[in-house]
Amino acid sequence: MEYILPILIADEPDALTELCGVNLVERLLRILQRLGFRHARVFSSTPEMIGAELAKPSWARAGIAVQLVPTDAHPLTVGSILEQGPQERFLILPANVYCDARLINALSNRNAPTALVDSDPPMMVQRLVQNPSGPALVTRDFLFGCREQAPIFEELKRRLDLREIETLDAAKVDDYIMSMRRHVRPLCFTAPTAPDRRMAERIIRDAAQKGTLDFPAYVHAPIETAIVSLLCKTPITPNQVTIIGFIIGCAATTAFVFGYVGSGILAALIFGVVDGLDGKLSRVKVETTQRGEWEHHLDYVIENSWWIGIAFHLWQSDQLPNAFYLLALLIGSHLLDEFVKRKAKLATGRLLDDVAPFDRAFRLIAARRNVYVWLLAAGFLLGAFPQSYAILCGWSAVTAAVHLVRSVWIGSVLRRRVADSRA
């Protein structure tokens, strides 16, 4: 991305409009860093205010070098951009907009001059969406063909009206996010006024929610969102939330090993909510990190420590003498499940839980940590805790078998389609 120079146009007060604890210029810089950019220029006719904001320490954008360029020209002119260096392409980003990272990335991947538009904005944001939306990719040759002293956005609109510049339509960008297991409409809209700010923040929080959940997660989701709406306006980071979750998870393991089943289940239930906070908070505040990706592996270790701890307690107390055989069934089923899911993902480009309506429905009750914990809680309350552990181990095997059949079926269907297309 280094051969493209991002140019942000940031003027107070709009560029400093805060949404979910992050102002717009900061949010754009965080997005640019995560897209691979390492340098950016920020033009501002209010350099004192913008400079003071950029001078604040921000670990979430520490990897991108930002140069503030005070300018008397307002709005920014074509000539001012041409003076910025030998780059052949410039990514123009008005910092008074909220813009989905996918739209910025799509613009960055264009070779020809391209302006972002939205031909069919959702009703709830129609009054905030402009056409063109503001962000654009321009080339040096394109700028040489413009009037040097003309405002850049005026030239973009003029060339757009003359159909001398390509468009990227937000309404036609693929909105499916595989890692989120859902469709999320990418949006770009201007800084909302006070009456619209709550609506804009709701859009950002909703976009951070994963889809195709198990049944317990549907109960957790509104609780997590309510907590994130408060956490995002504090200095608390996703990694700190992960540490808190790790402590709670270890407490559950300790309780299970020593036979404090009720306390262990309570800690596990709390962990189920806390575990959803760090990822959601990082997406809302654009604070995702490479270390955060390892959080899933840490979760896996914690979860398995629960099943091992419970097996040890049930075996030691002679409540379930074959507990370790059941544990082996559970772990083996998980390994098989992961294998068939990976094969389905490679074949379809989707997670197996979200391939078809059947898979989405089965996900509601499929063997997963949340389902296990709720099953254990029911067993504990009914005085049948050992039996509930045996049931969850058996259910893990059933789930793996269902996913194996589905993976084989999907693979055969895809092979038939390929064969038919070649016939």
- Pairwise CA distance, residues 297 & 353, whole Å: 19
- Residue pair 409/343 in contact by the 8 Å Cβ criterion: no
Q: What value does the mean pLDDT take over residues 71-79?
A: 80
Overall pTM surpassing 0.85 (yes/no): yes
Residue 22 φ/ψ, nearest 5 degrees:
-130, 125
Q: Write down the pLDDT at residue 358.
A: 95
Q: E strands along 21-133, which residues?
A: 22-23, 39-44, 65-70, 89-94, 97-99, 114-117
Amino acid at 301: V
pLDDT digits (tens, 9 = 90+) for 171-210: 999 999 998 999 999 999 999 998 899 999 999 999 999 9
- Pairwise CA distance, residues 282 & 59, whole Å: 13
Domain layout of the chain by residue ranges: 4-179, 208-420
- Pairwise CA distance, residues 5 & 26, whole Å: 17
Span 4-179: which CATH code?
A: 3.90.550.10
Q: Write down the pLDDT at residue 73.
A: 62
301 C-beta neighbours (distance < 10 Å), count: 11
Distance of CA 95 to the CA centre of its chain: 21
- The encoded tokens of residue 50 equal 């913008």
pLDDT digits (tens, 9 = 90+) for 383-398: 999 999 999 999 999 9
Q: Write down the pLDDT at residue 2.
A: 53
Question: Has domain 208-420 been given CATH number 1.20.120.1760?
Answer: yes
Give the DSSP per-residue string, 305-348. Answer: HHHHHHHHHHHHTTS-TTHHHHHHHHHHHHHHHHHHHHHHHHHH
- 4-179 and 208-420 in the same fold: no
Tell me the pLDDT band of 83, cut-offs 50, 70 and 90.
confident
pLDDT at 149 over 80: yes
pLDDT digits (tens, 9 = 90+) for 232-263: 999 999 999 999 999 999 999 999 999 999 99
